[in-house]
Structure 1
Amino acid sequence: MTTKKLKVGNVPNLRFPEFTEEWETKKLGDLCKMQSGKFVSASEIFERQIDGLYPCYGGNGLRGYTKSFNQDGIYSLIGRQGALCGNVNLVNGKFHATEHAVVATPNDNIDTIWMFYLLTNLNLNQYSTGMAQPGLSVQNLEKINTVFPKAKIEQQKIATFLSLIDRRIITQNKIIENLKTQMLGLQEKIFRQMIKLKDHSGKILPLWSFKKGGELFESISNKNHNSDLPILAITQDLGAIPRDLIDYQITVTERSVESYKVVEIGNFIISLRSFQGGIEHSDYKGICSPAYIILRNKIEITQHFYKYYFKTPDYIRLLNRKLEGIRDGKMISYSYFAEIELPFPIIEEQQKIASFLSKVDQKIHTEKAILERLENQKKYLLKQMFV
């Protein structure tokens, strides 16, 4: 593969060396046939796949399963509306495409998989219209100018190369999901005391005692700051993290920030979503909305022991016992948290458990970093292998 252009013109920066002919400019409508999918009512969509049902795809991907199909083969599906307008999925087999997706069928001289990568690279969302509800029409899609290699074999080589990276990304995602499953299984066994740990001399550690949340943690509301600390986003997957480190943009006024609470390293946070994802832990000092409840330990604990315990399904079920039937967004009060019994093994065992789970957690973070590099590599190659 070479990055040297033989002449200025419609030639990608990165190209297989055996191809030298310039690419040709065409409209998308000249390369493929585009048509909207067909409406299917919600009552006709099933959550699970059983014999006689076919996948049903909307603009945002798989919606469920239906009794009929309107496509049979390999197609690119383009999202027509909403937040994922312009999103492109490659679908293979018999399936039903809804009216929220545009089905792209390439002409005979265009490779199907290459077409998928072309559409992915075009960033189709930029061609959407409408403010409150962005949308893409078939007519607008067909008018988009693009550049393509006339030699189908070049299209196929590009598609094969990029497909190898996609398969590696799929494998990496499976590695991460398997590790997450292992982590959940280990947490369940450890916190249900199905695994017996031993001390340094080989003696089995004593049975756990239990204390109420209010005996271990107190609610604090420190607003003594000059608004110069980073604003923290309270997330279910990353815990408390500075907004600048993630794609989390919410405008706040200087006056409103004055009422924000200080979060110290090691504090826990009860959020509006704790009934769904547990209680969050902070490895950062910053400030957060006064709507959150900040917890600080009153006695000696190993914080990461509780960081992992507060995210277990068993504990989340305890949080939800008094919240059943209450609408989404209900805040868990400190008084309710304080009444729930928490495990309190000796500090030595807390440290052993925290250390062990941290190693598995770090492995997951390492594999996620590999995935991010692969995805960035794919983005780079898409830009370089298309004009």
Structure 2
Amino acid sequence: MKTQWVALRRLVRIANGGTPTPESDNWNGEVPWATPVDLGRANGFSLNETERNLTTKGALSGSTIAPKGSVLLSTRAPIGYAAINDVPMAFNQGCKALIPRDGISAPFLRYSLAHVGPQLQSMGQGSTFLELSASALASVKIPLSSTKVQTQIAKFLDRETAQIDELIGKQELLIKLLGEKRQAIITHAVTKGLNPDAPTKRSGAPWLGEVPAHWDVVGSRRIFRERGERARPDDEQLTASQVHGIISQAEFVATTGNRVTSVIKGEEILKHVEPNDFVISMRSFQGGLELSRIQGKISSAYVMLVPTPGIDVEYFRWLFKSDRYISGLQSTSNLVRDGQALRFANFAQLRLPVPPIQEQEAIDAWIREKLAVMDKLQKPVLLSLDLLRQRRAALISAAVTGKIDIQEGGFEA
């Protein structure tokens, strides 16, 4: 099968998205508004509903409407989710619309983007979060065949990947259930303690509910202060990640394969981080706070929290990653959307439980023991899921690059 590699700029029109201003007449209308979160849920499939909608006014004044049958691609946080919009759809600045030109099959384009996904991710740049620019995206080449063959390949992959997707769905459901059990273990331990018979009292904190009667519940400022120190000359550049925590930028690049733009000018605005600092990052409203184990420097957009002596940071590490705490953090602002950062003022609004120090340490040890069992149960499931995803990716790559002859192999659509 004859295949040529062609730059996307020749095959599609690329449109940027946006977010309207918060005025009420821009929101809650009938125009779906896609974000990377929406694309993540529909990745590899079609999308016709989104978490939030815009009015026509909001879509026209602050966003872009992609025509039905476009391919929406997430280009930051993270890069690479792709779905075909079944209805005209607006989208935010974390996405781009690839509007096919004549002769280009949208389903084939979606599969081709999956094939070049690792390349797209490696092209992301940014010091706070990785983003793929429109010009970089336009330069990416994908394998291209005739319109007829594009359609045949897409139909073949729809059929063959459906079987794999069913197996993937079962494994993902199992992982989700294990994850929910994991969160339940953490949340109960850090908010209720380990003794089910302990007397309780009202905490006075709506997000927290009742706590053991012998625990203190105090304002966040009493046990954490904001670090205002600027970066030191010998500080290593750090990266905050919900997956990897606070790690060096070099380790992040080596682990993920993503490129990060280093700060050269204006480095004096970076902030210093010490071991045992907690970091409020761009995504803390989704996944809680990160505990740093290392010294370094980090984006000025982040907030560092210094614990007072006499508390166990490991207990608070679990607390700040609990579902209940994250929900409380989200309640501190109605402006948290589209990656907007939380500030120290948000953190300071929540009162925190403070068990006796020996109990903090016991809770940490108990959680570690329980989660070690959960990890053993989850390991073979993750391995199976990884193998299924590799199989799916290999099938897509072989089909779109012409290594599988759809017609001669008896797969004609």
Residue 251 of structure 2 is aligned to residue 253 of structure 1: no
The two structures have a TM-score, normalised by structure 1, of 0.56
| AA in 2 matched with 1:89 | A
TM-score (norm 2): 0.53
8 Å Cα contact 1:220-1:294 kept in structure 2: yes
In the TM superposition, residue 88 of structure 1 has moved relative to its aligned partner by: 4.9
* 1:262 is the counterpart of 2:273: yes
Q: 1:295 aligns with which of 284, 291, 306?
A: 306
CA distance in 1, matches of 2:188, 2:334: 26
Give, in angstroms, the shift of residue 253 of structure 1.
Answer: 1.7
Change (3 A) 1:353 1:163: same
SS in 1 for 2:192: coil
2:296 to 262, 273, 286: 286
The CA deviation at 1:280 is 1.5
- Aligned twin of 2:239: 233
Counterparts of 2:366 and 2:372, CA distance in 1: 10
Equivalence for 1:89: 83
Which has the greater radius of gyration? 1
Flag the 1:315–1:25 CA change in 2: closer, same or farther, 3 A.
closer
Counterparts in 2 of 1:1-387, with a 5 A limit?
23-24=1-2, 43-45=29-31, 61-64=47-50, 78-79=71-72, 88-89=82-83, 96=87, 98=89, 117=111, 120-121=114-115, 145-146=144-145, 160-193=159-192, 196=195, 208-210=214-216, 212=218, 213=220, 216-217=223-224, 220=227, 225-227=232-234, 229-244=235-250, 245=252, 246=256, 247=258, 249-253=260-264, 256=267, 260-264=271-275, 266-271=276-281, 273-275=283-285, 277-289=287-299, 291-301=302-312, 303-316=313-326, 318-319=328-329, 323=333, 328-333=340-345, 336=348, 340-345=351-356, 346=359, 347-357=361-371, 359-360=373-374, 371-372=385-386, 374-385=388-399, 386-387=401-402
Aligned residues: 316
Q: Distance in 2 between matches of 1:163 and 1:261?
A: 49
Q: How big is the shift at 1:260?
A: 3.5
Contact 2:288–2:321, Cα closer than 8 Å, also in 1: yes
Runs of 5+ consecutive residues of structure 1 not aligned to the other structure: 1-22, 29-33, 36-40, 48-55, 66-74, 126-130, 138-142, 199-205
The verdict on how the C-alpha distance between 1:214 and 1:80 changes in structure 2, with shifts beyond 3 A counting, is closer
C-alpha deviations, 1:20-43, integer Å up to 9, x for none?
Answer: xxx245999xxxxx99xxxxx983
Q: Output one character per residue of 1:129-161: Cα deviation in whole Å (capped at 9) or x when no partner.
A: xx9756999xxxxx98427998x9999776654
How far residue 261 of structure 1 moved from its aligned partner, in angstroms, is: 0.8
Shift of residue 189, structure 1, vs aligned partner: 3.2
Q: Secondary structure at the match of 2:344?
A: coil
Q: 1:257 to 1:179 in 2, by over 3 A?
A: farther
Identical amino acids, percent of aligned pairs: 15
User: Which is helix-richer, 1 or 2?
Assistant: 2
Corresponding position of 2:59: none
RMSD of the alignment, in Å? Answer: 5.8
Aligned equivalents of 1:148, 1:321: Cα separation in 2: 50
Offset of residue 273 of structure 1? 5.0
Per-residue CA deviation, residues 329-376 of structure 1 (Å, 9 max, x unaligned), is: 351159937x83323151323421343246546766875565455434
CA distance in 2, matches of 1:272, 1:159: 36
